[in-house]
Amino acid sequence: MVLMGFGDEVLGALGAPLKSLVNGQSVGDNYRELRDGYRGMIDARTEDAPVTTALTQLATSAPMIAMNPLGKAAGAVKAMVPGLKGAQSATQVAGVGQRTAQAAASGFGYGTVQGVGDSTSGDFGDVLKDGVANGATSAAFGAAGMPVLSAMGAVGGNVAQRISKTSAYEAAKLKVAEALSRDARGTTFQTGQSNPINQVSARLGKLGDEATVADAGGQNTRQLLDTLATLPGRTKDAAEQLIHSRQAGRAGRLITAAEDGLSTQGQRLSPHIDQWITQRERDAAPLYNQLRKTTVNPSAQLQSIVASADELGAVGLGREMAAARQMPFTLDIRPGASRNGLTNMPNSNGWTMNDLDHVKQGLDQKIAKQWDATEGKLTPLGLAYQDLKNKFVKELDTATTDPKSGVSLYKSARDAFAGPSALVDAAQLGRGALSKDGATIKNMVGDLSTSEQQAFRLGAYESLRNKLGREAGQTEILKMWKEPATREKLAAVFGDELRFRSFASNVAKESRLKGLESVGRGSQTAARQFGAGDLDVGALTQAGGAMAAAKTGNFMGALAAAKDGWSRVATPQPVRDEMGSLLLSKGLLASDNVSGLAEAMNKLNQRNSSNAQRLGASGSLIGSQLAEPLEIRGLLK
């Protein structure tokens, strides 16, 4: 095997020139004599002790099998050819089928070379036929041996994983890596052009510190964790603790996302409401006290407006408010006095601004009743009331303007009161915004000043905070990706597109984290069945039977025992515990674990590939050195 069947040719080529110097015959005759003599000696020894000869040749071929020259040559070719270079980077754990194909290919290569070397035909075409025939036989032996070898290795590894923590950890890494590879997304990662573990690493970084390796995977990874949480072991309790912690912290994470998106900077609404009311009283009270002592001589336009307000009932509403406040009201109604029923219109004493301001407040009450909540705007009648009020306020501003300073007392008092009041009103609008649709919210916010918009966001934050503090509210917000109405409403509340995207991104992360809460919550019957199976110690007996059969050369018996044992101890608890620990790791530990998975996959596939090629080389030896002498003895006939 060391000379790949070319030993007779090598002996003849080396010895013929020396022998010709001695006997004087031609080099060609001496070459054929030495070659045929060597072949006869090998054939005789093989006929006398076929099995011993084959085993001896197998032992002497061990260095060649270990060096694996053809496999290394094939790897060098792949490295030089651009189209094959990417294939060397392992992107998923190679299965038994892939390794079987490698063993068959290696067996065919070694067997073909061996067959050409062993051929005694003088015709070049026949030599090639002998090589191909031996290559096919060797490929069959290599392919047939891989499942047996894999099963024996699996059973042996299974036992080692129960004893060695290192073996358990390495096995766990490969199983987790395989699940993550199955969840690869995009053609680049699915076709192996880029390692899918890199995709997992990037996704883990985007999901934040709360995310685990399982969160960064897909359905296959989540199903793997669910299985581990169902089986007996530490993962069951660890997963439950993670779920409990995640559920308890969800409200806080979502509220923080809302606070950041609305830029409330940790402020709450209630203290601001108190502050605005205090400010309003402090700034507006002195001006309104002065205003109550002020009288004006009404112009014809002002008289006409007050008369219209009286017909609408605004004067009566103003009188009621003044009475409730225990304040005087001189614009009393006298039956039959005039068209509008006003007793002192006009008189030498003028009209008090206290009365006129109450009439203005009466118009405010009429306008408020004409607000269409469905449309988010005033009705046509409300718009008419609003127009009359605007004219009324303009006349009052003019009537109270100081000719020297040009400053209107009524406007100054109204501004001092309206500033804080507008903020209170804007905050209350924000507080009720989530009960309205997106278009209505946009209309409400459209005319607000910058400070009023900030007050609106404070109110909206309180409403959103209250909603996110309840599980039902969290569910509603987390589903906004599939509910356009909710998304449109929230986008209007946040106003700025960048702020809304920031919030939506955090909600999407939380929605992905929520998906892990179903693990380990499946059928209790399945958990009981797995628990009962965990108490069965017959698996180790099966493993021992497989090893014993392999030692005696009973490959079919080893395969049967290994298959039965593997089905019962496919993943022992130490491996399951390590897998669960990997999948549930978070933060920097999760990043380190993911980084180690790609390297582990590459090393495993390289080792498996080399072993498959060496198995193919062994298969070629069995095919060429063992099959022929057995046929001679009639053992295969």
pLDDT, tens digit, 9 for 90 and up, residues 469-500: 999 999 999 999 889 999 999 999 998 889 99
For residue 190, the model assigns a pLDDT of 52
Hey, which of 27-36, 69-78, 449-458 has the most confident mean pLDDT? Answer: 449-458
Of 59-73, 178-192, 265-279, 507-521, which range is least confident?
59-73
- The tens digit of pLDDT for each residue in 374-411 reads 776 889 999 999 999 999 999 999 999 999 999 999 88
570 — pLDDT class (breaks 50, 70, 90): low
Map out the domains of the chain as residue ranges: 1-51, 157-245+523-616, 263-290+407-515, 295-399
Of 109-113, 348-352, 441-445, which range is least confident?
109-113
CA–CA separation, 148 vs 55, rounded Å?
A: 20
For residue 156, the model assigns a pLDDT of 46
73 — pLDDT class (breaks 50, 70, 90): low
CA–CA separation, 357 vs 314, rounded Å?
A: 11
- CA dihedral angle for residue 333, residue 334, residue 335, residue 338, rounded to 10 degrees: -90
DSSP secondary structure string for all residues of 409-471: HHHHHHHHHHHHHHHHHHHHHHHTGGGS-HHHHHHHHHT--HHHHHHHHHHHHHHHHHHHTSH
CA–CA separation, 435 vs 464, rounded Å?
A: 11
- pLDDT at residue 287 greater than cutoff 70: yes
CA–CA separation, 615 vs 60, rounded Å?
A: 16
242 — pLDDT class (breaks 50, 70, 90): very high
For residue 536, the model assigns a pLDDT of 46
Q: What is the mean pLDDT of the chain?
A: 73
Q: Which is higher by pLDDT, 572 or 117? A: 572
197 — pLDDT class (breaks 50, 70, 90): confident
For residue 338, the model assigns a pLDDT of 45
- pLDDT at residue 38 greater than cutoff 70: no
Whether the Cβ atoms of residue 262 and residue 499 lie closer than 8 Å to each other: yes
- pLDDT at residue 324 greater than cutoff 70: yes
The neighbouring-strand residues paired with 371 are 378
* Tokens, residue 38: 């060597």
- pLDDT at residue 539 greater than cutoff 50: no
Q: What is the mean pLDDT of residues 145-169?
A: 56
Tell me the three state secondary structure of residue 329: coil
- pLDDT at residue 270 greater than cutoff 90: no
* Tokens, residue 488: 């449109």
- pLDDT at residue 321 greater than cutoff 70: yes
CA–CA separation, 296 vs 357, rounded Å?
A: 12
35 — pLDDT class (breaks 50, 70, 90): low
Q: What is the mean pLDDT of residues 254-276?
A: 86
* Tokens, residue 419: 């500033």
Q: What is the mean pLDDT of residues 14-35?
A: 66
For the chain, the farthest-separated pair of C-alpha atoms sits apart, in whole angstroms, at 162
Query: What are the start-end ranges of the E strands in 259-418?
Result: 295-296, 351-352, 371-372, 377-378
For residue 333, the model assigns a pLDDT of 47
* Global pTM value: 0.57
Report which residue type is found at 353. Answer: M
- pLDDT at residue 554 greater than cutoff 80: no
What lies within 8 Å, CB to CB, of 588 at 6+ separation is none
Tell me the three state secondary structure of residue 577: helix
- pLDDT at residue 346 greater than cutoff 50: no
For residue 121, the model assigns a pLDDT of 57
Q: Which is higher by pLDDT, 204 or 70? A: 204
CA–CA separation, 263 vs 483, rounded Å?
A: 25
Of 312-321, 493-502, 625-634, which range is least confident?
625-634
For residue 339, the model assigns a pLDDT of 43
Q: Which is higher by pLDDT, 214 or 56? A: 214
Of 157-171, 213-227, 482-496, which range is least confident?
157-171
246 — pLDDT class (breaks 50, 70, 90): very high
For residue 112, the model assigns a pLDDT of 59
What lies within 8 Å, CB to CB, of 606 at 6+ separation is 90
The neighbouring-strand residues paired with 401 are 408
537 — pLDDT class (breaks 50, 70, 90): very low
CA–CA separation, 12 vs 6, rounded Å?
A: 10
Q: What is the mean pLDDT of residues 506-510?
A: 92
633 — pLDDT class (breaks 50, 70, 90): very low
Of 165-169, 426-430, 485-489, 628-632, which range is least confident?
628-632
Q: What is the mean pLDDT of residues 161-189?
A: 75
For residue 508, the model assigns a pLDDT of 92
Among 202, 37, 226, 148, which Cα is nearest to 612's?
148
Q: What is the mean pLDDT of residues 87-114?
A: 54
